[in-house]
Amino acid sequence: MTESQTDQLPAQQVEAASKAFEQEFERFACFTDASRDLAGLDLDQAIAAERALAELRTRHLGKKSELAAVKKLIGRVAPADRASFGQLVQATEAALVKAIEEAEETLRQYIETERTARESIDVTLPGRRPRHGHRHPITLLRERIEDIFVALGYVIEDGREIETDFYNFTALNIPENHPARGELDTFYTTDGFALRSQTSTVQIHAMQRRGVPIRMIAPGRVFRRDTPDPTHNPMFYQVEGLCVDRGISMAHLKGTVTEFLRRMFGADTVTRFRPSYFPFTEPSAEFDFSCFKCKGSGCRICKNSGWIELGGSGMVHPNVLRAVGVDPQQYSGFAFGLGIDRMCALMYELDDIRLLFENDVRFWEQFE
């Protein structure tokens, strides 16, 4: 390398380094003017620019940069030119540092302000109210029924939903060949247990556990092999009632059911008992009550009959008492059962009981 070459070359190198820097720095130049409006820039872009700027600094001022290489040449420059060359290198370096630092500072401030703005809370905004849960219409109705019977001195029994043949049929005096026992009507588990098809099963459990006298109601789910339609579901709710004591008669049954319905639908409610048949009661009766809407004059709800059919009832069959070791000579009792879903559908004028189990919050929100 000749003197003149060494002399020339480093100065050119400095200029080249500075040019290369300027080219790359161009896109950051806007940040060196702190008064500039950065309104168009979003926070993520600013953060990305900050990172790119840090890389740029390493590239142009770091140990492996062109400028660092040039610095090493200072000692090799002819002594006469060394001072001015040194100053050139320093001035160039200082210019680069200044440009980068100004841009860095603008970005840093911008990011800080933006972050604070983004994280700040507008206390005047309306809060987000947590949505309150609702009790299901069937639950509401069940609770009303329970309250009435608890006030009449009844206990509430909770049965099981999977039963043996004994509880679901045999103890209830349902004969071996009765169609209800068949798989067409009742669901069975693979090991031969029945999903209870009526809450009457709880009569047996309750009398076995509590003995007699007894007054109890048992609300709960029952299952039947029905195809869902507007008035049927394979799963629905019933309430069972049972009262056993010495000297219980049909009059007690009629009085209790009537009092329950008066408390439920108003003091002017009238009841009607029609002869019927159930294996677990003798005599048996189905009961109706005067329509709560039209009070018996006829309307859409009672299909113009003035009456609403509600459930089955009767005097507990001696065989049922015997099945739980109660002597029918000493004790007698009445029982009744009604469907809650159907009652619910009538009261809320639902034209499809499947709505009760479709889990549509908009439906539930209309209650309570």
Strand segments, DSSP code E, in the chain are 155-156, 162-163, 194-195, 214-223, 235-245, 271-278, 281-290, 307-316, 332-339
Give the up-direction half-sphere exposure of residue 125: CA atoms within 13 A in the CB hemisphere: 6
Residue 110 has, within 13 A of its CA and on its CB side, a CA count of 27
Query: Which CB atom, from 32 or from 276, has the smaller least distance to ligand DAH?
Result: 276
Options 37-45, 163-171, 334-342, 350-358: segment touching ligand DAH (CB under 6 A): 334-342
> If binding is defined by CB under 6 A, does position 313 make contact with ligand DAH?
yes
- The answer to whether 167 contacts ligand DAH (rule: CB under 6 A) is no
Minimum CB separation of residue 281 from ligand DAH in Å reads 4
Burial class from Cβ neighbours inside 10 Å (0-12, 13-18, 19+) for residue 281 reads buried
Q: Amino acid identity, residue 121?
A: I
From 35-43, 84-92, 152-160, 308-316, span contacting ligand DAH (CB under 6 A): 308-316
Shortest Cβ 244–ligand DAH spacing (Å): 12
- Least separation, in Å, of the C-beta of 126 and ligand DAH? 50
Q: CB of 204: closest distance to ligand DAH in angstroms?
A: 11
Name 45's Cβ contacts closer than 8 Å, sequence gap at least 6: none
Q: Which stretch binds ligand DAH (CB under 6 A): 143-151, 185-193, 332-340, 352-360?
A: 332-340
Burial 139-170 (b: 16+ CB within 10 A, else e): bbbbeebeebbeeeebeebebeeebebebbbb
| Residue 275 three-state SS | strand
337 near ligand DAH, rule: CB under 6 A: yes
Q: Which stretch binds ligand DAH (CB under 6 A): 159-167, 296-304, 307-315, 359-367?
A: 307-315
Q: Which is nearer to ligand DAH, 14 or 243 (by Cβ)?
A: 243
Q: Does 240 bind ligand DAH (CB under 6 A)?
A: yes
Of 217 and 302, nearer to ligand DAH (C-beta) is 217
Sequence-distant (≥ 6) Cβ neighbours of residue 71 within 8 angstroms: 89
Task: Please count the other Cβ atoms lying within 10 Å of the Cβ belonging to residue 232.
Answer: 14
Residue 312 as a binder of ligand DAH (CB under 6 A): the answer is yes
Radius of gyration for the chain, computed over Cα atoms and rounded to the nearest angstrom: 44
Residue 219 near ligand DAH by CB under 6 A: no
| Residue number with CB closer to ligand DAH (137 or 311) | 311
Q: Is 113 helix (H, G, I), strand (E, B) or coil?
A: helix
Binding of ligand DAH by 336 (CB under 6 A) = yes
Contacting range for ligand DAH; rule: CB under 6 A; set: 63-71, 86-94, 146-154, 335-343: 335-343
Does 17 bind ligand DAH (CB under 6 A)? Our answer is no
| Beta bridge partners of residue 251, listed in sequence order | none
220 binds ligand DAH (CB under 6 A): no
Residue among 60 and 196 whose Cβ is closer to ligand DAH? 196
171 to 78, 130, 202, 238, 322: CA distances (angstroms):
119, 49, 11, 19, 9
Number of residues that bind ligand DAH (CB under 6 A): 12
Cβ–Cβ < 8 Å for 235, 222: yes
- Return d(Cα 341, Cα 284) in angstroms, integer: 23
DSSP bridge pairs for 218: 240
User: Which DSSP letter does residue 30 get?
Assistant: G
Strand order in the sheet with 214-223: 155-156, 214-223, 235-245, 332-339, 307-316, 281-290, 271-278
Q: Is 200 in the site for ligand DAH (CB under 6 A)?
A: yes
**According to CB under 6 A, which one of 281, 320, 344, 347 is a site residue for ligand DAH?**
281
* Region of 92-100, 136-144, 159-167, 305-313 interacting with ligand DAH (CB under 6 A): 305-313
Member of 169, 260, 278, 292 binding ligand DAH (CB under 6 A): 278
- 335 scored as a contact of ligand DAH (CB under 6 A): yes
- The residues that touch ligand DAH, with contacts defined as CB under 6 A, are 198, 200, 240, 278, 281, 311-314, 335-337
